[in-house]
Amino acid sequence: MSDLLPWLIFGGIVAGMLALDLGVFHREAHAVSRREALAWSVAWIALALAFNAGVFFLRGSDAGVEWLTGYLVEKSLSVDNVFVFLLIFGAFAVPPAYQHRVLFWGILGAVVMRGVLIAAAGFLIHTLHFVIYVFGAFLIFTGLKFLKDQEHAPDLETNRFVRLTRRLFPVTARYEGQRFFLRREGVLYATPLFLVLVLVESTDLVFAVDSIPAVYAVTGDPFIVFTSNIFAILGLRALYFVLAGYLGGLRFLKPALAAILVFVGTKMLLVDVYKVPSLASLAVIAGLLAAALLASWRWPKPAPAEVHQPAANR
């Protein structure tokens, strides 16, 4: 029972908060204000830290530090999801009132998907030890690639999942309120909002391939990997609405995320040579994020130059 208790507590917290979120506070579609999003973001972070305190109490200080480090890794890497959400919603003109619904169901789907991926990754690492070196090399490659990639809006027409959805369902020409499906003359139609949901889910799948091995670099405990990952993801929706207007100014965030991926990838490659202490990992990751935020504040992106039109001759 003692081993089952943390899972029951975790499941109860997640189920209760999701029911409260969608069933009480967001029953009606509305544009989420930054103040409301900030309150939800603080609530999710407070719950995560309270759960972390429970891990410290029930499993000891080493597990507690590993949980906090895993949460911080996933939280920092999930910021890149926010960039992509901004691009998707902007490119496809998703009304602000419907964005919360897309993110709610998108992140709920991500919880299930990540549970499957975490179990699969844990099985591979524990049964085929060499896989940890593959994950480590992949994270280093991804971190270096981070420095080169430019953000661009995903294309609905080339996304495989979206193309499959179009084959399965006819799609309405415009948004139909906050509905994902509707029936006309006996035919079930998907709406463009459902296509955006599919795009959000598929991009999260890509990010999960990076972030899950990164947390396994911190700990091999599936409970810590899963719960820290899911707490970070559940707070992502509120984080999007909080940061939507500020992300463009975080000039040095991308290099910091790249450095975090390279660090945890290197840690994986060295696992049989030297095990980096949990507190040292936490200090490095927190230090990289703090340095990125401080540098972005100290040396912000230059404002775009104004284009002055020549005065018309009179």
What is the rounded distance in angstroms from the CA atom of residue 124 to the CA atom of residue 145?
25
Q: Any residues with CB less than 8 A from the CB of 90 and at least 6 apart, and which? A: 153
Q: What is the pTM of this model?
A: 0.74
Taking every pair of Cα atoms in the chain, the longest distance, rounded to a whole number of angstroms, is 87
Count the neighbouring beta carbons within 10 Å of the beta carbon of residue 25: 14
**Contact yes or no for 158/51 (Cβ under 8 A):** no
CA atoms of 216 and 223, how far apart (whole Å)? 11
> 181-184 and 187-190 as β-strands: parallel, antiparallel, unpaired?
antiparallel
How high is the pLDDT of residue 1? 47
Token pair for 10: 């975790």
The low-confidence residues of the chain, meaning pLDDT below 50, are: 1, 306-314
| Long-range contacts formed by 10-16: CB under 8 A, 24+ apart | 10/51, 10/227, 10/230, 13/47, 13/51, 14/111, 14/230, 14/234
Query: What pLDDT, on the 0 to 100 scale, is given for residue 49?
Result: 92
Candidates 159, 140, 148; CA nearest to 268 is: 140
Predicted confidence at residue 301, as pLDDT, reads 67
Question: Exposure string (b/e) for 218-239, b if CB count within 10 Å is 16 or more?
Answer: bbebbbbbbbbbbbbbbbbbbb
Using one digit for the tens of pLDDT, what is the confidence trace for 253-265?
778 878 888 888 8
Do residues 212 and 117 touch, judged by C-beta distance below 8 A? yes
Strand partners, 190: 171, 181
Query: Of 157, 156, 145, nearest to 209 (Cα)?
Result: 145
